[in-house]
Each structure stands twice: as C-alpha cells, then as structure tokens.
Structure 1
Amino acid sequence: MDRASPLVPLHYVSLGALGPEDVVADAHGRVLTGVADGRILRVHHVGDPLTARVEVLAETGGRPLGLEILPCGDLLVCDAERGLLRVGPEDGTVRVLADSVAGERLRFCSNAVALPDGTVYVTVSSRRHPLDRWIGDIVEHTGTGRLLRLAPGGGEPEVLLEGLQFANGLAPSGDGSFLVIAESGSCRLTRYRLTGPRAGQAEPFADLPGMPDNLWREGPDGPVWVALASPRVPPLDLLHRARPAVRRGAARAAVRAPYRPSRTVGVVAVDDRGRTVHHLTRRRSGFRMVTSVCATGGHLVLGSLWEAGVAVCAKPAAR
C-alpha cells in the first residue's frame, strides 16, 4: 500500500497493572494478556468501556510475554524469566514445558505458536540481553535471536534457526506451510519454511516501516496483524553498519539512559504473500509503544509494554 490510513482510537481499558505486552482474543471475544507483575489477565467486554471487566487467571511467578491459546483452552506462555509455560486458565495451574535449550537456560523466551500436530515453535529475542535491557540488544544489533521447536512429546527444544535480529512475534501461514517471524532489530518479517523442497530455509518476507513486535493471525483466511513498537529510526539504521565495538559501546550507554517511546504508533496487516493490506498509524498518540494487536468484535485491541491498559481502536474494512 502506498499510504498509511489513520489509526482511530475509540477508548482505553485500564488493567491496574503495567505492561500488557501481548494481547490475544479467544473464541468468545475476550482478550487475554500478561502483565509486569507476573499475572495473566482476561478482559471481558473490551469493546464497551462501561461494562469492561478484568479478571485474574493465573500468576506465572515471572514476566509473561507472548501468549498462544491452545484448542483445549489452555495457554502457552512465553515467560522472559521462567521459559515456556503452560497455564490452565480455569484453575490457574502453571507448568513449565521448557526452561533450557542446547545446554543453557532458556531466557527471554518471546513468542510461541502451536500447530495442529502439537508441535510448538518458540522465538528467543536475545541471548546477550535480558528483557529489562532489551534496548541494548536493539542498539548492539547482536543477531543472537533464535527459533526453537518443541516436539509434540515434549522434552528439550531444538534450535532451528540462529542469527535473528531480536526475534519476536511468530505466526503460521494460513496453510501451515511456513512461519512468519518478526525481527524487531531489522524492521522486517522473515519466512521460515516448514514444508516443501525448501523446508528448513529462511528468507525475507516483508520490509516494514517500523520495528515489528508481536504478531497475531486473524484466522486461516485473514491477515497477520503486526504491531509496530517504534517507527524506523534512521540514526539507528546507520549505527547498525558500524563496527561491533562501536555498537557495544552505544548499547552500554542506551541501557543507562532514560527511555521515552515515540508518540507515533502504528500497526500493519500482511497477507500470506507478504503484501501489506492495511497500514494504520497515529502521530502524537497518548498510547505509546504498541507491542501487540488483535482483532475482536469489530475492533482492534492494542497492547503495550509501556502502558497500564489496552487501547481499543476502529478496525478497517476487509480488503
């Protein structure tokens, strides 16, 4: 698409907790999210600010990031401190599925998807910087992100792909033949093929006008919604071409400096050919650092690592 359309805010739902980093909608239109204090929350009637209600489903004891709703109703939770978890939303039970990979602790687990055969794929954003120093990895451009695979029988995950620039959101294609991986540090989406003669290979899928964070697929025939946590930063693009020592020095300074997100926010939707079908943006936004987006009840719901609630926006007509 040549031009961005306005991202139209409707209302805000306070959660009473910071950092609803990922938002996902269940089959009943309820929105689930994890917040900074370790709780998993479920929001009812998110489209109506007068009747919206928040309930606590579980506490992970860590910092939940990406969520994936399983067909049985359980949740896969990527916890930046505890690894890959499975949560029973009815009784609040938390079970660790994986907390190590290739002989090292699984930290900064970012996003997960489960395919119909029970295989789970997981992204790891960084092996050098933890969540509270995420900006250090973006600045240093470490390329230590990973894609992991957990077999249906469980066990320890295997490493499928390395060298990703802050691997983040993850979504399957409509036919299950490939995965879409968000690389926040490179402002792009990458395709990892699961089937066919090029299975196991990765290739560029789409360049984006900002840093992608979480991904959410709107059904097998719908688009993949992409949250843009930040617009492109030209000086950062230039820094990424500098020598590693220069980038490391800049990263040390970045993690000590106070961070203030841009007031320009946006979301993108792409189809299974990597074509942009929606690009929505808003300047001077009061809701900053959009790290996730999902669609429910004719609305878009935005999550944020920075805010203490979710924003509900108008959803554009299908293309």
Structure 2
Amino acid sequence: MTKPQVRPARWTPPPAGPAGTPVKPSNLRVRTAPGDGTEDVLVRDDGHVVTGLADGRIVAIDPVTGGSSEIAQTGGRPLGIEHHPAGGYVVCDAHRGLLHVGEEGGIEVLADSFEGARFIFCNNAAVAADGTIYFTDSSTKFEIDHWLGDLIEHRPTGRLFRRDIDGTLTLLMDGLAFANGVALASDESFVVVAETGAYMLHRVWLSGRQTGPIEPFGPVLPGFPDNISTGEDGNIWVTIASPRDKLLDVLLPKTPVLRSIVWALPAWAQPHAKKLIRIHAYDVDGHLVHDVAGRHDRFGMATGVRQVGGQIWMGSLEQPTIAVFDLPSASGLGAHR
C-alpha cells in the first residue's frame, strides 16, 4: 500500500486533566489467541470471548481451556465487535465497513459509504436495543495501515454516524481527530465517542431536555483513547492505548514541515505506542471511578475493554493475546468532583 503524504496543521495539545492514583490490575491473566491483533473483545453468554484478528477472522476463545473456534472470515480487518439484538454481531471492519455477522458466519454489509464516498476506516460501534447503531469512521484519508499519519497530520476528518434500523445514515459529528471508540449510555440517553488525536471523549445527548448538544465527557486524558464500552456497572470504560508522546506534543504546535520530516522517516524511527495497560472508567457524570495501570510481558497496548460481572477483559491491536483482570474496588473517586 502506497504511503500517503501528510499536510500537517498546527495544533496546540491541551494539558491533561486531573487524574486519580492508578492501581495495578488485580489478578491479571493472559490468554493466547489464535492470531495477531485482538483489537476488541466481546463476552458471550457462555463466557467465550469474541475477537477479530488481523487476518480477517472473527473467533471465539474459551477462557477456561484456551481453545478457540472460528465464527467468520470477513476478508478485511475486523475491529469493533458488538452484540446485535436480533442475534449475531455488529462488526466494524476497517476495509469493508459496517457489517452484520451471523452466528453461523454469514456476512451482510450494513453500510460501506456515505454520500457516495466509501468508508476507509470503520472502527468502533455501539448498538441500541432496537438495533440502531452508532459507529465511527476514523479518517477519510488514512487507512488502518497508516493510522499514525492521521495523528501526525492532524487535519481531523473522523466522523460519528447513526444507522437507523431502516438503513438511513445520519452524520452526528465530523471533524474529529481520529474518531475511535463508541459507547451508549445504559438508558440510551447519550452516546460517547473517543477522539484519539485530541485525547478527549465527547458526549452527544440523544434524549431528554438536552437532546442534540455535544459536550466534553470527562477530563482531557493522559494518553490516546481507543475503544470504549459501557460496562454492566453502567460506567463508560475507556482504553488508553498509549500515553501521550512527548515528541509529538512538542511538534504539533511547531512548523508543520517538522512533522513531514518525521513521517518520511522509516517506521522504526517514528513515534510508537508504548506497551502499557491503562484503563479508565467514568460514571454517567464524567467522574473518574477507576484508573488501572500496569504491564505484562505478553500483553500491552490495550485497545479493547469489556466489563462483565467481576472481570475486565481486554484486547490489543498489536498482540496475539487477550487479557483479563478482576474488577477493582473504586479508585480515583473524587478526582473530578
């Protein structure tokens, strides 16, 4: 794939907001996946963990035995995965768009373009009880193999969409610096979207007196948010895939040519995600409830998170593993009150 050129724009990164004191993940366990790139995770009623892999497969992993079974092969790059209320899964495929994948592996394309332009980086979704889907298209210029280019260029083109059950697409937000994770409030009154390149979460109100307004959700984050999800506890769980990069933060407000030079460097010399586990959880008012940080030799760069019962499951864009730790006691409470 030809590496696209960048036209960097100046941007001054905001300082990170207040944070709690991180706690280490409790009883952290790592399970081997049957391939690389377990970007998102979804837990089925039978306890199996569903994830997509870099080779296009969607698999279910038995967390007890470690065995796995293939559900489908999308022929693309599956990222975000959600349950569909009618059965099967809603899958954001970076190459193919928004998909419905049946339990037996059948694939239906739900949306692959908007106003005549194809999606090139469908990323994450949240699904309402009636089948309405909220999903992101991270960039209109940079595909998944060149995701770093979007952060270096910083000319935001990411978007948040709603797909109604009749197939109608509505643009809810655009101009996002790498639109990423999506989470729907338990009562479906609002949807939260992660803006990776701005270290931010945003809330879009969907019902009640505040219908329509868009506002920040929580503080400016200490790193790059990736997938987010609503836990069984009603909190919005957020992966921070990597801490902020000091070099990138220094270069963003300076003359754009410097970032063009960085983009021209070989991949090994460019900014890289750090192999860190960092998970936040926020209540419905945007207050920090949990702040978890740690490291493991076989798992890092957490990009997917799912709270089910007393466990927190994680996936990673770059690892051939999934991981799980025990739900911590409340940490960071009061940090933003």
What TM-score results when the alignment is normalised by the length of structure 1?
0.90
1:277 is displaced (CA, Å) by 0.4
Matched residue type, 1:60: T
Q: Give the distance between the partners of 1:238 and 1:195, measured in 2 at CA.
A: 40
Aligned to 2:161: 148
Offset of residue 251 of structure 1: 3.6
The aligned residue for residue 288 of structure 2 is 276
Contact kept? 1:22, 1:65, Cα under 8 Å: yes
SS in 2 for 1:17: coil
Distance 2:131 2:326 in 1: 34
Q: Deviations over 1:66-121 (max 9, x none)?
A: 011012331000000001000002x2100111111122011200011121233211
Which 5+ residue runs of structure 2 have no aligned equivalent?
1-18, 332-337
Instruction: Report the AA paired with residue 154 of structure 2.
Output: H
Q: Please state if 1:299 is matched with 2:311.
A: yes
Give the Cα separation in 2 of the matches to 1:278 and 1:80: 30
Give the share of equivalent positions with the same residue, in percent.
41
Q: Which aligned pairs between 1:127-206 and structure 2 lie closer than 5 A?
A: 127-155=140-168, 157-206=169-218
Q: Which runs of 5+ in 1 are unaligned?
A: none
In the other structure, the counterpart of 2:47 is: 29
Which letter maps to 1:93? G
* Aligned structure 1 segments of 4 or more residues deviating by more than 3 angstroms: 242-261, 283-286
Q: Which deviates further from its counterpart, 1-10 or 67-76?
A: 1-10
CA deviation string 1:188-209 (max 9, x = no partner): 1111111244433321112222
Q: Which amino acid aligns with 1:34?
A: G
TM-score normalised by L of structure 2:
0.86
Instruction: Kindly indicate whether the alpha-carbon contact (under 8 Å) linking 1:136 and 1:252 is maintained by their aligned counterparts in 2.
Output: no
Aligned CA-pair RMSD: 2.1
Rounded to whole Å, the distance in 1 between the matches of 2:67 and 2:261 is 46
Aligned to 1:54: 68
Contact 1:80 1:109 in 2 (8 A): yes
Q: How many residues align structurally?
A: 312
Contact 1:110–1:123 (CA under 8 A) maintained in structure 2: yes
Equivalent position amino acid for 2:158 in 1? G
Please state whether the residue corresponding to 1:5 is helix, strand or coil. coil
Which residue identity is paired with 1:222?
Answer: G
2: CA distance between counterparts of 1:274 and 1:254?
A: 39
Answer yes or no: is 1:83 the counterpart of 2:97. yes
Determine helix, strand or coil for the equivalent of 2:152: helix
- Picking from 19, 28, 31, the partner of 1:10 is 28
Residue type of the alignment partner of 2:87: G
